[in-house]
Structure 1
Amino acid sequence: MDHVTDRTLRALGLAEAPREHPLLYPGAWPAGSGLLDGDRFLPLDRLVHEDRTPVLAIGSNACPGQLRHKMEEFGIMSPIPMVKARVTGVDAGVSAHVSRMGYVSASPVGAPDTVRELFVIWLDAEQLAVIDASEGVPVPAGNYDRAWLPSPDVRIDLADGTRLPGAYAYVNRHGVLHDGTGVPRTHPGQRVLLTELLVGLPRFRELFGVVPEEFCARARSDRRLCERGTRLFVEEKLVTASGLERYAAVSLRAQQTGSPGTAASLSPPLM
């Protein structure tokens, strides 16, 4: 097997997109930093890309197969640097909405004492517009706001010793699910999460079936059913704040006033 073949997403186990296989959510993440270039994951020559926007990937945006799927939908083929980072102050919570992609996604939550290895994806303007569109940022009924998480509130340390001044993250407009005590719960992986929800919530089970596979099939085929599931989280009093809403509010005000350096959402090339 030659060098090029060795670096294909399929050879590296990174090709599957949760959009096509919901129970795999959040999908396979790379072992280390690299450049997503079409169907290949190549070595990076640097970790910081000043001409691009840093976005902290909490869920499937750290999966090369998912990123490739999103970009191909809009005809975008340009490479994306993906940089592994040590992040303090953020954890992966559970979004308080049912995605029409057939899963319950991850969402960032404030966690001051938590240290995690996450990915920063560095996006050009066109790529940022695509990811914004996939998260619903440009539309009032969308699920996420893009918020700037500043240092030192959130520490993002790269392998070369660089500490970023901050990065954007997608904060859920619906809030996140809590653990029963009001504290945001962490995302345990799709199959485990769906099993817990279906076993523990009879009304959820009535809507989506008794096993995760049935949930995925029903959610993917019915937007209104997803909306009912999202409302059910509220009705069952399972929803709490992520702790990051204040950053979303600041970013929204900055975008509305056109403040420099806010990297406001762009309209996607296709809808």
Structure 2
Amino acid sequence: VPATDNLQKELAPLIKSDGSVSDLSIQIGDTHLRIAGGPVVSEDGERIGAVFEWTDRTANVCIEQEIQDIVNGAMEGQLSQRIDLANKSDFFAGLSSGINQLLEVNENSLKEAMSSISAMASGDLRKPVSTQYSGDFGRLAEDINQTISKVSEVVSALNATTSEVRGASGRIFEDNEKLSSSTETQSGHLEETAASMEQITTTVKQNAHNANMANSVAAEARSTAEGGATVVKQAVSAMQDIAVSSNEIVDIIGVIDEIAFQT
């Protein structure tokens, strides 16, 4: 990069008294430069000038910014991005490859974990984490699989309990049906018993009425019998009187016959 008057003006305040400039980074347009410099001295030790080394860091700065953007995205949960390795070499190639591998492991493990958890949340307990991970990823996978196993045991127990409850409910329903049928039968019997009781009550009332009438007839018969006995007594008495009178008449007739005979 050729020196310019503006660049010389920017560098002038940064040059130390001994003429050195240490790791100065500047940007000119889209170009990023790193400048290092030092004094030039004569054999007598007299400073006669300064020398500067210019390093164009534009490509490196672009790579650094690309890596930083990927890292920032990963911190926000964007794990699908990757660093392009086409324009990388040496240190940046190794760094970018390592970051890409880290992102891939994180993405794959989280995707599989999320798939298992989502399936479990939807009621599907047949999707454990099948990939073998190490470290914290392995512990995460193990915890998820243990959770699925425990939930499966709970669901199985609930299903068994539900079956028992369903069976008990069925038996209760059958018993209720039998009880309802028995109740209806008993109700019919009670209705028949009530009708019979009503008939018995009517019969008893009729018998009571008939008994009252019989009592009345018996009373009338007794009264009639008593009256008849009185008449019979009177007739007997009259007949006795007639018998006495007849005897007297016989006596009179005897007297008359004697008188007639005598005359």
| Higher RCO structure, 1 or 2 (CA under 8 Å, sep 6+) | 1
TM > 0.5 fold call: no
More helix by share: 2
Band the TM-score falls in, shorter-chain normalisation: under 0.3
TM, length-normalised to structure 2: 0.20
User: Rg: which structure is higher?
Assistant: 2
TM, length-normalised to structure 1: 0.20
More strand by share: 1
